[in-house]
Amino acid sequence: MDMEKRYSHQLIGRKVVSKTGKEFGLVSNIVFEVRTGEIIQIALKNTTGYCEGLDLERNKQGESLVPFSAIAAIGDFIVIAEEDLM
């Protein structure tokens, strides 16, 4: 994925949607590998009913976790490729 360099705090609070426009929620936190700095997952807050129905992994706080590998694009929104969640 070829994306311009961004700071992690720029992603917090961004709306997460699918490629077809279905809303998932807002980014609440970022999970990364401390040693390498690689982003592993994003945690979502204020999740929609659609997102809740996907049975995504959850963190200790109950937030839905989306693997970074499922992110198709980052711009005004974070776009998720739903097929990469299954």
Neighbours of 41 (CB within 10 A): 21
- 13-33 pLDDT, tens digit each: 999 999 999 999 999 999 989
Going from N- to C-terminal start, the domains of the chain cover 8-73+80-84
Q: What pTM does this model have? A: 0.85
DSSP lists the bridge partners of residue 19 as none
Q: Which CATH superfamily is domain 8-73+80-84 in?
A: PRC-barrel domain (2.30.30.240)
- 32-86 pLDDT, tens digit each: 899 988 889 999 999 999 999 998 999 999 999 999 999 999 989 999 999 998 7
Asked whether residue 1 carries a pLDDT value surpassing 50, the answer given is: no
Nearest to 70 by CA among 35, 33, 39, 32: 39
